[in-house]
Amino acid sequence: MNTLSELDPILHSQLRLAIVSILIGVVEAEFTFLKERTGSTAGNLSVQLEKLSSEGYISTEKSFRNKRPLTTCRITPKGIAQFDIYVRAIETYLRPPK
């Protein structure tokens, strides 16, 4: 009997999965871009970015542009690896049992 792979609880959150999925396809993304793409509130996005950052899945850089705060996010090698593992785990659910 096959046992199903465990799904990473960090990535299993809908918003965190959306963030990582977006960051996989870009070099970096600004906070406002992620907010628009995910339809998230600023507060919820901030909380989820902090969670991903504290787990080492993304890196964030805070700076200023035209005297306004700017947060830029990038996926880390760990984030890429964990996303790949997560996708492979999902694929095990999609395969018919042998």
Kindly report, residue by residue over 31-66, the tens digit of the pLDDT: 999 999 999 999 999 999 999 999 999 999 999 999
Residue 72 pLDDT: 97
pTM: 0.88
pLDDT over 80 (residue 67): yes
Taking the C-alpha atoms of residue 49 and residue 22, their distance in angstroms, rounded to an integer, is 13
Q: What percent of the chain has pLDDT over 70?
A: 95
What is the CATH number that goes with domain 14-94? 1.10.10.10
Confidence of residue 2 (pLDDT cuts 50, 70, 90): very low
Taking the C-alpha atoms of residue 7 and residue 78, their distance in angstroms, rounded to an integer, is 16
Closest C-alpha among 5, 6, 8, 95 to residue 57: 8
Per-chain mean pLDDT for the chain = 92
Q: Where are the domains of the chain?
A: 14-94
